[in-house]
């Protein structure tokens, strides 16, 4: 199992979410799947707020297993809380999602471990509760009656839906948006790439004009001219790119002089004072997921790295983690996927990514040296690199 600074299995979600007021721990529990993008299982989800009450960060960590040393979980909680403090948190609340077998974990010990960590970092503890079988239980006041989430939180759920925010039933369902069995388009892309000669990948990025054509066509797909309709709503995407077009993007993005300008322009449009936010951002993220999902595994790493970085920038830690893992399975040497994986796991704020991109001009990125030629590995074949364990 991967470990980063003694924190494992963690998903972070720095927020760029619609404004919504949460007034009690049950409303927070209802909101957790919307904040993460999926319904967590066997997890503790920690949500941080600034002194003003503004939501700062949501982070998920696996609950300890029976074979885990006791210090491992506490170290993970420390890492989560330190990430929250670094982002300006003043208070914290936790929601625990225990396994179905209640005997498999000591909830009282989990609560105790969390309560010990919080004051050491100067955070105010707002609430700690468990969610099991659709019921909320206040672990700080264990004699209080259970609360049925579906009834007490229906208004909050309706507000999330009204703002166009949804979540998947599980992390596996969310992962299905990014990877899965080959699609017809993926088969076509594989056949097309394999039918090209060895110079094809150099030819499509042969000069500045060719690289700019790849850059512009990809952004045109992600941000079509009619993406913003009346009232600021985006129109749903109805068509997929052609086999040749998707193959060109998948292979061309291995060239940093294509990939980094694309990411720079996405950050310029959607980060900080960018002109696109909310629903248009989600449409762009969905479009990138579609491209990754329809690309064969041996060619997916460059596109997956772009999805990982853009998801991280938007504060979607769950998709960023899934995409970076997928990219590293396809190409363990992919530097951007590793960077995003480390950043998300450690709770690094996505503004760091925007600042990294803006440290260079668009012209500098387009003119920089070519770093990495596209290398293909068909997973499960003799030529494939050994893949490390990348659990969720």
pTM of the model: 0.73
Is residue 84 over pLDDT 60?
A: yes
Q: What is the pLDDT of residues 18-29, one digit of tens each?
A: 567 788 889 888
Domain boundary among 126, 153, 169: 169
Same domain for 149 and 190?
Answer: no
pLDDT band at 295 (very low <50, low <70, confident <90, very high): very high
Q: Compare 202 and 233 and report the one with higher pLDDT.
A: 202
pLDDT band at 195 (very low <50, low <70, confident <90, very high): very high
The alpha carbon of 365 is separated from its chain's Cα centroid by a whole number of angstroms, namely 25
pLDDT band at 386 (very low <50, low <70, confident <90, very high): very low
Which residues are paired to 93 by β-bridges? 47, 127
pLDDT, mean of residues 113-127: 86
Closest by alpha carbon to 350, among 2, 15, 122, 21?
15
Q: Which residues contact 258 (CB under 8 A, 6 or more apart)?
A: 205, 211, 214, 215, 252
Asked whether 95 and 29 are in contact (CB, 8 A), the reply is yes
CA-to-CA dists, residue 143 to 98, 134, 139, 228, angstroms:
19, 18, 9, 51
Asked whether residue 6 is domain-assigned, the answer is no
Asked whether 56 and 84 are in contact (CB, 8 A), the reply is yes
CATH number at residue 96: 3.40.140
Which residues are paired to 38 by β-bridges? 168
Q: The domain containing residue 320 runs over which residues? A: 176-367
Q: Which residues contact 290 (CB under 8 A, 6 or more apart)?
A: 237, 240
Q: State residue 359's pLDDT score.
A: 86
Same domain for 78 and 195?
Answer: no
> What is the number of structural domains in the chain?
2
Q: State residue 2's pLDDT score.
A: 27
Asked whether 299 and 251 are in contact (CB, 8 A), the reply is yes
pLDDT above 70 coverage of the chain, percent = 83
Q: State residue 313's pLDDT score.
A: 86
Same domain for 79 and 18?
Answer: yes
């Amino acid at each position: 199992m991967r470990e980063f600074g003694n924190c494992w299995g963690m998903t972070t979600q720095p927020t760029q979410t619609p404004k919504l007021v949460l007034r009690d721990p049950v409303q927070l529990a209802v909101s957790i799947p919307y904040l993460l993008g999926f319904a967590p299982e066997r997890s503790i989800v920690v949500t941080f707020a600034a002194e003003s009450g503004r939501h700062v960060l949501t982070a998920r960590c696996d609950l300890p297993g029976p074979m885990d040393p006791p210090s491992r979980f506490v170290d993970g909680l420390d890492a989560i809380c330190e990430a929250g403090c670094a982002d300006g948190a003043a208070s914290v609340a936790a929601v625990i999602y225990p396994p179905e077998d209640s005997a498999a974990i000591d909830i009282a010990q989990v609560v105790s471990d969390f309560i010990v960590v919080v004051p050491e970092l100067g955070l105010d503890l707002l609430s700690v509760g468990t969610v099991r079988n659709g019921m909320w239980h206040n672990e700080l006041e264990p004699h209080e009656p259970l609360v049925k989430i579906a009834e007490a939180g229906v208004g909050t759920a309706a507000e999330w839906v009204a703002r166009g925010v949804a979540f998947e039933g599980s992390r596996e369902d969310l992962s299905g948006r990014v990877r899965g069995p080959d699609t017809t388009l993926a088969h076509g892309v594989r056949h097309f790439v394999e039918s090209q000669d060895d110079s094809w990948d150099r030819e499509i990025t042969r000069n500045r004009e060719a690289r700019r054509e790849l850059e512009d066509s990809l952004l045109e797909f992600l941000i079509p001219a009619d993406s913003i309709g009346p009232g600021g709503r985006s129109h749903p995407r109805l068509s997929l790119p052609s086999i040749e077009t998707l193959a060109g993007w998948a292979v061309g993005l291995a060239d940093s002089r294509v990939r980094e300008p694309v990411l720079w322009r996405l950050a310029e449009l959607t980060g900080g004072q960018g002109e696109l936010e909310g629903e248009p951002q989600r449409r762009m993220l969905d479009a990138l997921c579609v491209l990754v999902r329809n690309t064969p595994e041996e060619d997916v790493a460059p596109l997956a790295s772009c999805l990982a970085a853009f998801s991280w920038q938007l504060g979607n830690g769950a998709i960023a983690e899934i995409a970076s893992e997928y990219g590293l399975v396809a190409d363990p040497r992919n530097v951007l996927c590793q960077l995003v994986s480390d950043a998300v796991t450690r709770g690094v704020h996505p503004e760091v990514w925007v600042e990294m991109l803006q440290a260079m001009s668009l012209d500098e990125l387009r003119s920089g040296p070519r770093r990495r030629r596209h290398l293909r590995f068909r997973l499960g074949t003799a030529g494939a690199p050994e893949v490390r364990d990348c659990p969720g």
